[in-house]
Chain A
Amino acid sequence: MAVAEVAPTVLRYRLRYLDVLVPATVIAVVVLACLVGPALFALPEPTGGDVLESYMPALSPGHLLGTDPNGNDTLSRLLHGGRSSLLVAVAVNLLGLVVGGTLGAVSGHVGGLTDTVIMRLLDVLIAFPSLVLTLAVAQSLGPSRTNTILALAFFSVPAFARIARAATLRLRELPFMVAGQLCGTPTPRILLRHVAPNIAPQLITFGMLGMGIVIVIEGALSFLGLGIPPPAPSWGNMISQGQQSLSATPSLVVWPCLTLFVTVLAFNLLGEALRARWSGR
């Protein structure tokens, strides 16, 4: 009896966390594979392959997923490309989180003229269609990984700032905040001690969705030739190059597309699950 009663509870308990655990596991696997995979499986370098080993099909000896037109190992490019894509996504979202979060929190907490000025400035940035602005920045600075990060940060900062501001405004009337202000605690201290920890969950949740968005947009930039410059791999430029002979060599496109999709889906699911939890829905 007792066992029968306990089992469903454990199961339900586990199921409740499945929506977080499954995507988190997928993300962990992708990140680990990208970081340690190449060394672990002793994969060849992602560039500088032997051109005589070009266009090898999947399951060829030494090349599990085959090779590209220049004889580079597709799996190695996929994992190294993942490093690039993830690095860009993490950097852009961290920039957004820190810079945007600070701007938003200050704006929401201080209010008044500061708020108006910061938010109007950010309104200008948010008015830009993100890809368009990113393209303009990328062409102005020239394609490179750092410039891609800077370009994408242009729209992650205002997005994080808006969320941080809204969250901070909601906090303002709460008793501990009012108490803090009445005690005359200096503003930076309040922001750091009370505001930051309270708005962090929402920002991190948005960051998960942001990871997906950035990976896709970085891909779009590379797809248009303005992201990470070949021959260095990224998922976007692998898709872009592979589609040049899509009908004859579909596998060059299928692998990066699939990896990109699974990774973005995992980040989206995790973001949604966290948001549902956070909003108590």
Chain B
Amino acid sequence: MTTVTRAAPTLLTSPGARLVGKRLLMAVPIVIGVSIVTFWVLNLIPGSAAQQLLGPEATPAQIQALEARLGLDRPAPVRYLAWLGGAVTGDLGTSLVSGQPVAGLLGERLAVSGELVMLAFVISLGLALPVALLAAHRPGRLFDRVSMLVSITGLSVANYVLALLLVLVFAVELALFPAIGFVPLTESVGGNLQGMALPAAAIAFPLFCFYTRFLRGDLVDQLQGEDYIVTARAKGIGPWQVLLRHAFRNSAFGLITVVGLNLGTLIGATVIIEQIFALPGIGQLMLQAINTRDFVVVQACVVLFAVVAVVANLLADLLYAVLDPRIRYGSR
């Protein structure tokens, strides 16, 4: 009988799965916390949301009337719970300016921002891996020095400056890529990618620099200090093999965490880049809503951005757990 319980742990009872469950449970309060903070921030001093909507010169009577119409005269916790109840069922309220359902507005723009983030992510990581490996292969040599110089420079360029530069060079002077606009994937894949090239590059480059520096640094640390590398070398394994099979495997864990944490920055960058390239994404929607003081839309955008960042972190954690044998087998 005991053999049954001692059988290989099922997927659900394995330490890894338990960790997944724990992390998922932790994500829920964070998401709720995020929405509370957003709600609180958007209701900060000075004045109420109605005041913001009406402008600094509205009379108290007008503010009161609008508050009553929007249900803002209820206490904040009540309003928050009402909002949360709606949000859980996919109802994010209606825009104060256009009267359109916010969920619909977000939906039609999600594809644009999503594609932008994915592209930037793939480009930055796809380039950072080979460059960091090549640099770490022979630290201190020319390639390493050049790549480190490029990456610290790239980290110091603001993405809005970079975007302006890219437009001037590649769109206006060379006419290789469009300066603005979005072509849906369903319309033309080529046109879509062409239009996304510059905005994705503007977001990806600083990120590429960051990943490259991080990974290269970690790889060099591993190669220099860790016992297992010495052992591997002693066994006569070639330098590339050591780098790829051993050092990179370990560095990958740190990279996953960093990538997860950095996704927030990546998402934030879309706001400014969508603005510069006139891309109809969530960031553009949020900025428009900020300028028209449409706090219902702003709130939905901020929470959406934050939820995506939380989920990205969660995925990074889970990936970590799945890949790391120590966690998978419960030794930690």
Contacts and interface: CB of A to CB of B under 8 A. Distances in A.
A136 B155 CA distance: 25
B157 A261 contact: yes
Interface residues of B, number: 52
Contacts of B271: 131-132, 135, 224
A141 B41 CA distance: 9
Contacts of B267: 129, 132
Interface string A235-249: 000010001001100
A136 B33 contact: no
A223 B272 contact: yes
Contacts of B38: 136
Contact of B168 (A126, A132, A246): A246
Given A137-B41, A272-B152, A128 B302 contact: yes
Contacts of A220: 158-160, 272
A130 B44 contact: no
Given A132-B302, A137-B41, A141-B45, A120 B29 contact: yes
A226 interface: yes
A260 interface: yes
Nearest to A141: B44
Contact of B37 (A124, A257, A265): A124
Nearest to A263: B156
Interface stretch (B7-15, B79-87, B192-200, B305-313): B305-313
A226 B275 CA distance: 14
B313 A265 contact: no
Interface in A227-281: 239, 243, 246-247, 253, 257, 260-261, 264-265, 268-269, 272, 281
Contacts of A140: 41-44, 52
A253 B162 CA distance: 12
Given A120-B29, A141-B45, A268-B155, A127 B272 contact: no
Contacts of B268: 129-132
A128 B309 contact: yes
A239 to B, nearest CB: 7
Interface of A is mostly: helix
Instruction: Report, as a range, how many residues of chain A touch the other chain.
Output: 35 or more
B34 A260 contact: no
Given A128-B37, A131-B269, A272-B152, A139 B298 contact: yes
B209 to A, nearest CB: 10
B250 to A, nearest CB: 16
A52 B1 CA distance: 96
Interface hub of A120, A140, A224 (most chain B Cβ within 10 A): A140
A181 B39 CA distance: 42
Contacts of A136: 38, 41-42, 290, 298, 302
Contacts of A268: 152, 155-156
A149 to B, nearest CB: 15
A133 interface: yes
Interface string B38-79: 100111111000001000000000000000000000000000
Interface string B150-182: 001101111111001000100010000000000
B122 interface: no
A128 B313 CA distance: 11
Contact of A261 (B46, B161, B168, B306): B161
A75 to B, nearest CB: 20
A50 to B, nearest CB: 29
Contacts of A253: 164
A133 B29 CA distance: 18
Interface string B274-287: 01000000000011
A123 interface: yes
A200 interface: no
Contacts of A261: 156-158, 161
B46 A127 contact: no
A137 B42 CA distance: 7
Contact of B152 (A121, A142, A269): A269
B91 interface: no
Interface in A103-147: 120-121, 123-133, 135-137, 139-142
Top 4 A-B residue pairs of the complex, sorted by shortest distance between their CB atoms: A131-B268, A124-B33, A129-B268, A265-B156
Interface of A: 120-121, 123-133, 135-137, 139-142, 212, 216, 219-220, 223-226, 239, 243, 246-247, 253, 257, 260-261, 264-265, 268-269, 272, 281
10 contacts: A124-B36, A127-B30, A128-B37, A131-B269, A140-B44, A142-B46, A220-B272, A223-B272, A261-B158, A268-B152
Interface of B: 29-30, 33-34, 36-38, 41-46, 52, 152-153, 155-161, 164, 168, 172, 217, 220-221, 261, 264-269, 271-272, 275, 286-287, 290-291, 293, 298, 301-302, 305-306, 309-310, 313
